Amino acid sequence: MAERILIVEDNKTLAKLIAKKIGAELDFEVDMAHSLSETKLFLSRYNYFLTLLDINLPDAPNGEVVDYVIEKKNHVIVLSGNIDKDFRNKMLKKNIIDYINKSGVNDVNYIIQMIKRVQKNQNHKVLVVDDSLVFRKQMQSMLENMFFKVITVAHGEEALGMLNANPDISLVLTDYHMPVLNGLELTCEIRKNYTKNDLAVIVVSIDNDEETTALFLKNGANDYIKKPFSKEEFSCRINNSIEALENIHAITNHASRDFLTGLYNRRYFFSNMPAYFEKAMNENEYFAIAMINIDHFKKINDTYGHDSGDKIINTLADILRANTNQNDMVSRFGGEEFCVVVKNTSKNSALKIFEKLREMAQNSTTLSDKGEVIKFTVSIGVAINQEDTLEESVNQADMMLYNAKQNGRNQVVHN
């Protein structure tokens, strides 16, 4: 069931415009209230992902709706035509996500972008490092209101331990002057293991010396926020750093993934597997490399069309992905050829896995665009780690695949 957004706006035309835009671009159910009394009824009935609140309502002309909705533990974006600076600052001191002026279509577009942003923020974990309990709580509150998952610690040494325990942290917010390990030392330690493309670091410090700012940026910080800061500056800098990280990951993902199946591609395989290969050989960890090829794939394309051929490739990709472990490597080398590395396994266990994959491919059913049932089989060549290099192991698996094809297809052959 889709989550809900509540729009509270006495201008019914504007409320419908925002609701229509949200409905067209986002997967939310949208409710509209035009007064505080209607707002109370909706909040008593539903839970909301987000509320968009006008502050001048017929029965609440002075922003009373904001306090009421916040009191009910809801996330709030304020919509207002009031451009008075003091009033704006007063509103921003409340526990709201943002204060947006209602002046035109661009503001409606900004609302949509902000909703998309906080949706994505749910996927990110932020580590706050500050020896001041007051600032830790302040930043935690603001970050959680922006939908981030938040962890807080008091100094740099604790932060390093938390990073080891939570490798999925996207952003570290650190103070400069702290006991045990200060912010600069922490930043340097982080950059030994994480690049700017892996993890963002933002320094939040009362130190206003420009040389200090430059020192942090030269040593790997993504940004520097000076205390005291405004809520809007804080939010913008945090969101900008996270968006930059997401964009880099999207570009990297595009370069390392096969466009059709979403599996890793040949380039990624040969960039990342050598490190594992070397580690496994040094530690005597057994693994198996398999080359997998769809039998008579040209005939499938000629008979049912290339779109159906793509469906067969995706069917096999799904089988490979669903029946291997998360740490295994599943990649598409091109065309109808795949490579699977089963890690930390015995020879017998690996061969059972590949035999299961062969059987599942044989038993699968794919429909053509015309509704025709398409059956297919695969040949699999397996090399257990006995070669000196990764390339030799892949070539060995390729040789076993050739033997499987020569021996009649639809079988697993190993060295």
Neighbours of 50 (CB within 10 A): 22
Helix (H) or strand (E) holding 60: none
- Between the CA of residue 80 and those of 83, 153, 298, 322, 386, what are the distances in Å? 8, 37, 62, 49, 69
- Between the CA of residue 279 and those of 285, 293, 348, 350, what are the distances in Å? 8, 28, 22, 19
Determine contact, residues 173/127, Cβ cutoff 8 Å.
Answer: yes
Give bridge partners of residue 148 from the DSSP assignment.
none
Count of helix runs (H) and strand runs (E) in the chain? 15, 18
**Residue 71: active-site member:** no
Give bridge partners of residue 121 from the DSSP assignment.
none
Sign of the torsion formed by the C-alpha atoms of 55, 59, 64 and 70: negative
- The one catalytic residue in 9, 158, 336, 387 is 336
HSE at residue 398, side-chain half, CA atoms within 13 A, is 8
The Cα diameter of the chain in Å comes to 82
Q: What are the CB-based long-range contacts (under 8 Å, 24+) for 10-16?
A: 10/34, 10/35, 10/54, 10/56, 10/57, 10/58, 11/54, 14/102
**Beta-strand runs (E) in 262-310:** 264-265, 288-294
Catalytic residue numbers, as ranges = 336
